[in-house]
Structure 1
Amino acid sequence: MNSIRSLKLWIVSALLVMIPILGYNSYAQVQSEFDQDLQTLLNNLENCNCIYIRNGSEYTALQARQHMELKMKSSRGMISTIPNFIKHIATKSSMTGIPYLIKFKDGKTIESSVWLTDQWEILKKSKLNNQ
């Protein structure tokens, strides 16, 4: 009887140790996937051959990327999904509320949230097709 009780106690103790570790591994995997997706999205922005308009001023795509990376750093890890990144970091000025715009070589201008959401949808479909 004591050996069964000892075995049960050992199993419960092992589970109490393993559950947080397994949970952390799942979180780390999700965070890693988010980081990879974010880098892909920012790479797409940097290479889109467009002008980024923030508060009425024009910036290169590289400057736009750097600005968003700075805003991400300032968010102190509070953003952990691409939709939240688009909504809270890449859509509008946090100071003025003015939407960010992307202007293409042909003169077409759209809100950054629309373009980034489209890019996110393309990335998600690409990931599904590669599974």
Structure 2
Amino acid sequence: MKWMLLLTALASLNASADSFKEISHLLNFVKSTDCSYERNGKRHTGAEALGHIKKKYDYFSDDIETAEDFIQYAATKSKMSGKYYLVHCPSQPTVKSQDWLLVELKRYRSSAK
């Protein structure tokens, strides 16, 4: 019984470490992008968007366990206006930030294998 609890705790720690790495990667991805991040009708650089996303990440930290949670709570849409955040990249169609980050998360996970 004690071994089972220990294994469960270790698995949880490992999942948390993986989630932390994924979230850190996504934060760096936003920070270093050449795309602009639109929030409530105003465009921001990646570095500017990062500041806002980090504030929301800190605010919702108790609800965030996975990279998907991070995207949903901190980087998808305005809690005030309900408007989705958009990403504008050169020579590409505008996309919702949620979709943009989920594609990057999938790419990151594939490269980490």
TM-score bucket of the superposed structures, by smaller chain = 0.7 to 0.9
Q: Point out the structure with max Rg over C-alpha.
A: 1
Q: Report the identity percentage.
A: 27
Tell me how many residue pairs correspond in the alignment.
113
Change (3 A) 1:107 1:117: closer
Q: Distance in 1 between the 2:82 and 2:11 partners?
A: 35
Equivalent AA in structure 2 for residue 23 of structure 1: T
Residue 85 of structure 2 corresponds to which residue in structure 1?
100
Matches of 2:67 and 2:85, distance apart in 1: 17
Structure 2 residue ranges without an equivalent (≥5): none
Greater relative contact order structure (CA < 8 Å, 6+ sep): 2
Is structure 2 residue 49 aligned with structure 1 residue 64?
Answer: yes
1:36 is aligned to 21
Structure 2 CA distance, aligned partners of 1:60 and 1:95?
21
Where in structure 1 are there 5+ consecutive unaligned residues? 1-14
Q: Secondary structure at the match of 2:62?
A: coil
1:125 is the counterpart of 2:90: no
The equivalent of 1:12 in structure 2 is none
CA positional deviation for 1:71 = 0.6
The correspondence of residues 17-32 of structure 1 with structure 2, limited to 5 A, is: 18-32=3-17
Displacement of 1:95: 1.0
Name the TM-score, length of structure 2 as normaliser.
Answer: 0.87
RMSD: 1.8
